[in-house]
Amino acid sequence: MGSPLAEVPFAGNLPWTEIRKLAERDAIALLPVGSTEAHGPHLPLAVDVVIAEEVCRRVGGRLLRRGEAALIFPAVPYGLTEFAAEFAGTVSLPAEVTRALLTEVMAGIASHGFRRIGVINHHLEPAHFRLVHEAAREAARRTGAGIAVADHRQGSAADRLGEEFRRGGSHAGAYETSLVLAAAPHLVDDAARRLLAPFPVNLPATIKGGARTFRECGGAQAYFGSPAAATAGEGERLLEILADVAEQSILALRPVPTP
């Protein structure tokens, strides 16, 4: 049922005076980023936010154990979500709006004295993830804050996350369903997911072939991979890998020299 890290404060639950004290202590600000989009008939629209927030909780706990102050800002729940746009409930923002929103949120956090910001994004649509990186660079340039965007899509982390993840067919499959089973099992329609047949698709290859929506990729129910194979135990393993990647990127942060 998620990690019991109540000691990691959520900025949205605190008065401004406590936020100021945390900034004065050089606390590390954690920003979850996700989307509001269809994730199959068994998972909620908020999957990416749920996962990003859970990773932030775990990373925040690790930072506290290292003697670092940390807090979690309210998640950004909208972004560029074109592949799932035709499914009910999905909200997709234009690229320029997404970039501007993310830039201003990060810059706004930095403007109150937070010199280190860790951005935890779990909406993996490639165009969206590029915008997250672009926004972080622009906000860092403007404010001088050190801003790290944890990115688990490459290298050894991607290998550890499994074959379904590496092939890009993990949308609402075993990978994401396992993560939600570990972080918020009450949000999973377990009966529905056990009835879903495996649907392995190499999404990167399909997209390179010209597909521009989940339906064009063959995903008529907005899922790929194998939801029925998901387990909470696997979700715990995956969450720790994601937390490893985020923690290391944040520990490397240094404020950007002001021009």
pLDDT digits (tens, 9 = 90+) for 2-36: 444 448 999 999 999 999 999 999 999 999 999 99
Spatial separation of the C-alpha atoms in residues 100 and 54, rounded to whole Å: 25
H helix runs in 161-231, sequence order:
163-166, 174-183, 190-194, 203-208
In a domain, 168, yes or no: yes
Q: Chain-centre distance of CA 178, in angstroms? A: 15
- CATH value at residue 50: 3.40.50.10310
Spatial separation of the C-alpha atoms in residues 186 and 205, rounded to whole Å: 34
pLDDT by 10s per residue, the chain, length 259? 444 444 899 999 999 999 999 999 999 999 999 999 999 999 999 999 999 999 999 999 999 999 999 999 999 999 999 999 999 999 999 999 999 999 999 999 999 999 999 999 999 999 999 999 999 999 999 999 999 999 999 888 989 999 889 887 789 999 999 999 999 999 999 999 999 999 988 888 888 899 999 999 999 999 999 999 999 999 999 999 999 999 999 999 875 554 4
User: Nearest Cα to 101, choosing from 71, 75, 135?
Assistant: 135
In a domain, 3, yes or no: no
In a domain, 165, yes or no: yes
In a domain, 93, yes or no: yes
Total domains in the chain come to 1
Sign of CA dihedral 195, 199, 200, 205: negative
Phi, psi of 153, deg, nearest 5: -85, -10
In a domain, 4, yes or no: no
Spatial separation of the C-alpha atoms in residues 79 and 37, rounded to whole Å: 9
Spatial separation of the C-alpha atoms in residues 161 and 131, rounded to whole Å: 23
Spatial separation of the C-alpha atoms in residues 110 and 87, rounded to whole Å: 35
- Residue 52 token pair: 């990003």
Helix (H) or strand (E) holding 59, with range, is helix 47-65
Helix (H) or strand (E) holding 118, with range, is strand 116-121
3-state secondary structure (DSSP) of residue 222: coil
Within 8 A by CB and 6+ apart from 194, the residues are 227, 228
How would you label 116-133 residue by residue, b for 16+ Cβ within 10 Å and e otherwise?
A: bbbbbbbbbbeebbebbe
In a domain, 1, yes or no: no
Q: Where in the sequence is the domain holding 207, given as residue range(s)?
A: 11-251
Spatial separation of the C-alpha atoms in residues 175 and 237, rounded to whole Å: 11
In a domain, 25, yes or no: yes
Tokens 């906000």 belong to residue: 139
In a domain, 146, yes or no: yes
